[in-house]
């Protein structure tokens, strides 16, 4: 294995561990079937939901998942082509 493959493997493992930690630290959707019935309330919390810690955590998780996918594909290409 060459240097770039080793570096990509290490970075991929670190991003994978970070992604697992981010997913495990998120709260689930506790609304259940209340969403279907329309029993949601229109409160200040819902209006400012984009600025909450949970919403920022979801955005970071999405970014980390995309980064993990890109790194994994790049690692496959490096190993398959033998760069």
**pLDDT tens-digit map of 29-53:** 665 444 455 555 566 666 666 678 8
Report the domain count for the chain: 1
* pTM (predicted TM-score): 0.71
Question: For residue 11, how far is the Cα from the chain centroid?
Answer: 15
Q: Is residue 9 part of a domain?
A: yes
User: Residue 11 pLDDT more than 80?
Assistant: yes
Judge whether 39 lies within some domain.
Answer: no
In a domain, 73, yes or no: yes
Residue 34 lies in a domain: no
Domain limits at 8? 3-26+46-81
Residue 31, domain member (yes or no): no
């Amino acid at each position: 294995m060459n240097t770039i493959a080793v570096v990509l493997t290490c970075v991929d493992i670190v991003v994978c561990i970070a992604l697992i930690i981010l997913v495990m630290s998120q709260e689930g959707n506790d609304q259940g079937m209340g969403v279907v019935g329309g029993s949601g309330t229109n409160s200040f919390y819902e209006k400012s939901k984009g600025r909450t810690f949970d919403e920022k955590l979801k955005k970071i998780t999405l970014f980390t998942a995309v980064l993990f996918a890109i790194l994994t594909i790049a690692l496959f290409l490096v190993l398959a082509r033998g760069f």
